[in-house]
Chain A
Amino acid sequence: GNSVTQMEGPVTLSEEAFLTINCTYTATGYPSLFWYVQYPGEGLQLLLKATKADDKGSNKGFEATYRKETTSFHLEKGSVQVSDSAVYFCALRVGQGAQKLVFGQGTRLTINP
């Protein structure tokens, strides 16, 4: 079946540190991959996506590269800010049309000033 595994949290970093949140997946077919961010008490916001192997998604200083050979989609940011504190979800979707997203369990990130 399809599944997503994220690095366990919580993750705590100091401001301006380098961030990596690992995400690996198992999927039948060729999935599209997503990172969503959830701020406290809010819904999910799309952060970035990639739809085929070697694509790099990027937004707000965050990047992730779709690595088919390692079935990974790790999220990175070179210098985090306090405002990046949130829960980050990696997700995949297989197939076309209305298809569910398969989510990882989420990684809580806290950035200290």
Chain B
Amino acid sequence: DGGITQSPKYLFRKEGQNVTLSCEQNLNHDAMYWYRQDPGQGLRLIYYSQIVNDFQKGDIAEGYSVSREKKESFPLTVTSAQKNPTAFYLCASSAGRGPQETQYFGPGTRLLVL
């Protein structure tokens, strides 16, 4: 089945540690996105990528980094510079352009700080 997979489902980070969240899609979508969700709030965009080897900062990029070496993969690294990393992280992808473009989401990774 086509879809978006995120791993792990739960991730624990120690102080000063970098951690990487995986996002893979087999939908052949060009664009991929990372959002952060905090309790009782909507989603906020961290980074997005329109094509391989290209990505742009979203609204809350500080303390995060990404890479896009393959079309299928868009990993997110939460660095030690991110002082409040506890949140639910959602990856999305989309295809096409214009009004019909629709983003589809993965199941999410919950990051907790030890």
Decide if A and B are genuine partners. Answer: yes
By a beta-carbon cutoff of 8 Å, the part of chain A in contact with chain B is 4, 30, 32, 34, 36, 41-46, 49, 51-52, 89, 91, 93, 96-101, 103-106
Provide the residues of chain A in CB contact with B108, threshold 8 Å.
41-43
B53 at the interface (CB under 8 A from A): no
Does B50 contact A100, Cβ atoms closer than 8 Å?
no
Does B49 contact A98, Cβ atoms closer than 8 Å?
yes
B102 at the interface (CB under 8 A from A): yes
B90 at the interface (CB under 8 A from A): yes
Provide the residues of chain A in CB contact with B100, threshold 8 Å.
32, 51
Residues facing A in B60-114 (CB within 8 A) are 90, 92, 94, 97-108
Can you name the residue of chain A whose Cβ is closest to the Cβ of B106?
A43
Does B99 contact A51, Cβ atoms closer than 8 Å?
yes
* Min C-beta distance of B81 to chain A, whole Å: 22
B8 at the interface (CB under 8 A from A): no
- Counting residue pairs across A and B whose Cβ atoms lie within 8 Å, the total is 69
Does B42 contact A43, Cβ atoms closer than 8 Å?
no
Can you name the residue of chain A whose Cβ is closest to the Cβ of B99?
A51
B107 contact from A4, A36, A42, Cβ within 8 A: A42
Using A106-B40, A106-B41 as known contacts, say yes or no to A100 and B97 having CB atoms under 8 A apart.
Answer: no
Does A98 contact B102, Cβ atoms closer than 8 Å?
no
Does A106 contact B42, Cβ atoms closer than 8 Å?
yes
Does B102 contact A46, Cβ atoms closer than 8 Å?
yes
Can you name the residue of chain A whose Cβ is closest to the Cβ of B49?
A98
Does B105 contact A103, Cβ atoms closer than 8 Å?
no
Does A101 contact B43, Cβ atoms closer than 8 Å?
yes
Does A96 contact B101, Cβ atoms closer than 8 Å?
yes
* Min C-beta distance of A77 to chain B, whole Å: 21
Does A32 contact B90, Cβ atoms closer than 8 Å?
no
Does A46 contact B104, Cβ atoms closer than 8 Å?
yes
- Jot down 17 A-B pairs with beta carbons below 8 A, ordered by A: A42-B108, A43-B90, A43-B106, A43-B108, A44-B92, A49-B102, A96-B97, A96-B98, A97-B97, A98-B49, A98-B50, A98-B101, A100-B33, A101-B45, A103-B42, A106-B40, A106-B41
